[in-house]
Structure 1
Amino acid sequence: MLKSGSALRWIAVAALSSPQLPSLAHGAHDAEWPAAQAGVATAPAAPMEVRNVAPGVYYVQGLSALGSPANRNFISNAGFVVTDDSVVVIDALGSPALARELVARIRTITPKPISTVILTHYHADHIYGLQVFAALGAKIVANELAREYINSETARLRLEASRKDLAPWIDADTHMVNATQWIRGDVNTLTIGGTEFVLQHMGPAHTPEDTAVFLPKTGALFIGDVVFRNRIPYVGQADSRHWIAALDALLKLPVKVMVPGHGPASEDPRKDMRLTRDYLSYLRQSMARAAENLDPFDAAYQDTDWSRFEGYPLFKEANRMNAYNTYLLMEQEQR
């Protein structure tokens, strides 16, 4: 049963009222870009380990690395919840092979059927396993703002590049999968097997369709890529102003455990939300000064003190791109 506009407005929607900027769409590099393109070394494949974070609530954790053939594109997290009558999966991992492995891991926990997949957003490292769950007959639930992207030339080109850069894990048989249930509105409540899932639209933030999934009974929160833990976020063409507003609202929640889209689960969600928020705020502040002073980006980047963040994984690979995109965003906002 899906109830739109539920009274369970567990996020102060008023805090998320800043307008969407016209340029905020999924960029050509709309996920963790392949290492072959980035020209950097990546970690080898990691075993898929199921971790229990609350009664009936589990997740698997990808590497803090760029996607590559060596690590099978296992660079993001996925979760699953065992309800009274079925299993609900949250995100689908970065390849069909990984999704099949996740199904096998779920089968070691419960024989119940996988009825539903809820997507936090439609980035490649979270969705290329969808076809496996669709073949099992699972309903796929996602925010309708992803519909434009999944049917776009950008998505097609992204998949085409992944077939080359992430082979054999992404190949000619890998294809994009539309949701079977597109949701709209700020808050939706989905009840499956007696378990309540509160779906809160967080975007535009990391993507226009960012969706947080909250389980009121256990206090578990699946936040997708609105929070990155123990690594530098991928900002891309994100609406960082609205992203910060979303994090400010999240900081008010009584979350007991948070599973991010990347990195380990957190039992101190406020601390980890603040790290992502502080990084975004610092990007905006430093690049806003540069844009206002008409400083060239290269000089502005070199003169910025990055010492607080440079020790985190993927700083070298992501930070300069994040800063440049934020520099362009600050120029746009100041017009």
Structure 2
Amino acid sequence: MNLVSAACKYLKIALLVNAIFFTAIYARVVSAQGDPAGVLLKPVKVAPNTYFVQGRAEMGSSANQNFISNAGFVVTPQGVVVIDALGSPVLAQKLIAEIKKVSNQKIVAVIVTHYHADHVYGLQEFKKVGAKIYAQGEGRNYLSSETAKQRLIASRVDFAPWVNDSTRLLPADIWIDQKTKLTIGGVDFFISRVGPAHAPEDLIIYIPSEKVLFAGDLVFRGRIPFVGNADSKGWLIALDEIEKLNPNIVIPGHGNYSVKPAEDIVFTRNYLKYLRESMANAAVNMDPFEDAYKQADWSEYEGMPLFRAANRMNAYNVYLSIQAE
């Protein structure tokens, strides 16, 4: 073993020991004082039987327990249906506790809009209370990928102690590969795949009786969207599909709920369009990305939360994806 590999090995061991130690200390503090991080979930009622909790417009961290995405739930006469599971097991535990304050019905289902870490690291807690997990079939590819494995390894360090060695990725109990109507307690949930868009396995969930649509990360409000390896062209088509449903309320994956969906979807659409327009010529002509990025006018977006953290990466990923189209 050379010095570099030995150093890496010992660093990994040190990080693991530190995470385990931090978790143990946290457990003692919580039992004595309650949650010292002060991360509160406050369900907001947006329709007669529909609630959501709003994540913070921040990067995930230990300080915020990775509470950066939204989740929601619908109460039916025969059980509660949850949409997305939040970004750490402790957040899922808090959401379960809040649901119990609203209804004495059991949590019977969790529908995953997509398998990004901030939406699924809480799944194991819902599984413990007996919920069935529903997700789109392409999620199987992510779960078996090296990307998912490495992301969880990194998250166990970045979000310790809230994400740790006990945190695991769970597959769906029911994989959805076509439009599906799930009926629970007489309430219909229309589940549609609209990806590849933000992710290959994007699902939207429409509840006609509530006139509410859960859009996952196809819609962002109040912050710069995360593009990652998205199919930006498919994403724009997906936004058109959301509008055709004409919901009264859209609950996005990030940001406050919308009571004017047609207006609020415009922000995400215009941002994606501008990314494509500003990167297209350089991508097609194989001109340097740096030149295209400097020439673009980002003034409309640079004052928004997470601009510095996400915008450059978003533009670069769109630049590469246009070359691959």
Match of 2:145 among 146, 149, 152: 152
Q: Percent identity?
A: 54
TM-score of the two chains, using structure 2 as the length reference:
0.87
1:111-260 aligned at under 5 Å gives the runs 111-185=104-178, 187-260=179-252
SS of the residue corresponding to residue 178 of structure 1 reads coil
Asked which structure has the greater CA Rg, the reply is: 2
Match of 1:276 among 268, 279, 283: 268
- 64-73 or 143-152, which moves further after superposition? 143-152
Corresponding position: 1:66 with 2:59:
yes
List, as ranges, runs of 4+ consecutive aligned residues in structure 1 with deviation greater than 3 Å. Answer: none
SS of the residue corresponding to residue 141 of structure 1 reads strand
The whole-number CA distance in structure 1 between the counterparts of 2:138 and 2:319 is 25
Size of the aligned set, in residue pairs, is 289
Write the letter of the residue equivalent to 1:52.
Answer: K
The whole-number CA distance in structure 1 between the counterparts of 2:92 and 2:259 is 26
Q: Tell me, which stretches of 5 or more residues in structure 2 are unaligned?
A: 1-36
Q: Which residue of 2 aligns with 1:264?
A: 256
The whole-number CA distance in structure 2 between the counterparts of 1:309 and 1:59 is 26
The whole-number CA distance in structure 1 between the counterparts of 2:282 and 2:271 is 17
Would you say the 8 A contact 1:145–1:209 is kept in 2?
yes
Alpha-carbon offset, residue 48 of structure 1: 0.9
Per-residue deviation, residues 134-174 of structure 1 (Å, max 9, x unmatched): 11111000111101111222211110110011100000100
Would you say the 8 A contact 1:61–1:78 is kept in 2?
yes
Q: Which residue of 2 aligns with 1:36?
A: none
Per-residue deviation, residues 79-138 of structure 1 (Å, max 9, x unmatched): 000001110110000011000000000011011100000110110000000000111111
Would you say the 8 A contact 1:145–1:208 is kept in 2?
yes
Alpha-carbon offset, residue 62 of structure 1: 0.6
Q: Which residue of 2 aligns with 1:78?
A: 71
Q: Tell me, which stretches of 5 or more residues in structure 1 are unaligned?
A: 1-43
Per-residue deviation, residues 246-273 of structure 1 (Å, max 9, x unmatched): 1122223321011001000000111121
Corresponding position: 1:297 with 2:293:
no
Q: Which residue of 2 aligns with 1:107?
A: 100
The whole-number CA distance in structure 1 between the counterparts of 2:96 and 2:189 is 21
Structure with greater proportional helix content: 2
The whole-number CA distance in structure 1 between the counterparts of 2:324 and 2:133 is 36
Alpha-carbon offset, residue 291 of structure 1: 1.9
Over aligned residues, Cα RMSD in angstroms?
1.1
Corresponding position: 1:87 with 2:85:
no
Q: Which residue of 2 aligns with 1:4?
A: none
1:42-61 aligned at under 5 Å gives the runs 46-61=39-54
SS of the residue corresponding to residue 252 of structure 1 reads helix
SS of the residue corresponding to residue 238 of structure 1 reads coil
